[in-house]
Structure 1
């Protein structure tokens, strides 16, 4: 599987400061989960700051508050169609029980 190299922007001081501001603004809570009535905070999940309009396509919006939101890792992966490993099938599921 090809893994894309990280953008050096994410190592910049400006991004680290802005990321912290967005996490604080969103009260360390996933915004997608909140819309569905679930509370997902940094205590339950890894939180990431998402660019609504992609950084590669809109670099001028990289640090704009209106283009950033907090998402949990699961929601962020769904948003970018990044899915992890499939759950292994239970090899005993169809075995006879006694």
Structure 2
């Protein structure tokens, strides 16, 4: 069945098949309508495209470099390796005796705290959404990561079971 719409002529309720805009009775207005749409598009084209992709996600250089790492081929290979190693199951839930499927790979010690561990497979674990939110909140308190926080000089914890215990305390 062909797609239809109403005639664009004021107070005309006749149905028209696509791509036409006017019925047979008002068909003489079609060329004028299409010309006005082309004029409008030409005059407003720059207005719409000049703002495209101008939002900067991270304004400082260290955050930008951290974010760009997640767009590299190295990260995609590391991520896939860890997902297959952990069988797509949340490591933090597994410590608590719960089996939760997950697809997010997380740095056990955040790269904001120690950037040398960003490509280390031992520092990566699969994490589900709820554990990730809880761990992010814990990292902000313990390590001082996150926007507006100041990094603390604490000993890094790389044991998932110890992190789960600390996450559940708060």
TM-score above 0.5: yes
Q: What does the per-residue CA deviation read over 1:25-58, in whole Å, with 9 as the maximum and x for residues that have no partner?
A: 001000111111111114xxxx211111111222
SS at match of 2:87: coil
How do residues 1-98 of structure 1 correspond to structure 2 at under 5 angstroms? Answer: 5=58, 7-42=67-102, 47-81=103-137
Unaligned runs of 5+ in 2: 1-56, 59-63, 139-170
The structure where helix makes up a greater share of residues is 2
Aligned residues: 75
Deviating 4+ runs (over 2 angstroms):
none
Q: TM-score, normalised to structure 2's length?
A: 0.41
Unaligned runs of 5+ in 1: 83-98
Instruction: Give me the whole-angstrom Cα distance separating, in 1, the residues matched to 2:91 and 2:108.
Output: 12
Q: TM-score, normalised to structure 1's length?
A: 0.69
Instruction: Report 1 or 2 for greater relative contact order, CA contacts < 8 Å, sequence distance ≥ 6.
Output: 1
